[in-house]
Amino acid sequence: MAEKSTIARPYALAVFSLAEEQQQLPQWTEILALLAAISEDPAMTAMIGNPRVSQSQLRNLFYEVGGEHFDDKAKSLVSVLVENGRIALLPEIASLYERYRAEAENIVQAEIISAYVVSPEQQETIAAALNARLGREVTITCRVDETLVGGAIIRAGDMVIDGSVTGHLGRLSTALSQ
């Protein structure tokens, strides 16, 4: 069976093309995030997988939950996904859409995982260094992982910089065992 992202890709590209054409990239980010959240709700997941729930019932459930947040195009997307049995792919579609949007806007999302809280000044310094290295605008998210002992791991796109104590110890252990 094909991987979920492979199946979701054409839908994400279609939504991205529509959003770009209508200059509604941020609006579609919100719509897709809402749709993904609805589809991941445990009650909705049970409905999606239930053969007793018809396509029209499932489609109407999404419409009701989304309410005024869904315009005709969002409803059309829901309808197409339900008809094709792809509504469960909404989280992947939203994720791929965000990737296409970031690429179009020349933005890269970087994640800093550190043993301690990273100050705003440190975040700015790291963002500036990544911007210079990648030639793209960088947005930062941070999270604390105390198991790193010290240092940090930075992930930006396909690039990973492991400056954690745990990473250094692991590399040292590998070098010594050879």
For residues 18-45, average pLDDT? 94
Provide the pLDDT confidence category of residue 170 given band limits of 50, 70 and 90: confident
What is the pLDDT at residue 2?
65
Question: How far is 167 from 150, CA to CA, in rounded Å?
Answer: 10
**Residue type for position 75:** K
Instruction: Express each pLDDT in 72-125 by its tens digit.
Output: 999 999 999 999 999 999 999 999 999 899 888 888 888 999 988 999 999 999
Beta-carbon contacts of residue 139 (< 8 Å; ≥ 6 apart): 107, 108, 109, 110, 127
DSSP tally for the chain: helices H, then strands E: 8, 4
Joined together, the tokens standing for residue 98 give 């965000």
Task: Write down the domain spans for the chain.
Answer: 4-102, 108-177
What is the pLDDT at residue 40?
94
Provide the pLDDT confidence category of residue 37 given band limits of 50, 70 and 90: very high
Whether residue 148 has pLDDT greater than 90: no
Domain 4-102 has CATH 1.10.520.20: yes
Beta-carbon contacts of residue 54 (< 8 Å; ≥ 6 apart): none
Q: Is the pTM of this model over 0.75?
A: no
Out of 5-19, 117-131, 144-158, least confident range: 144-158
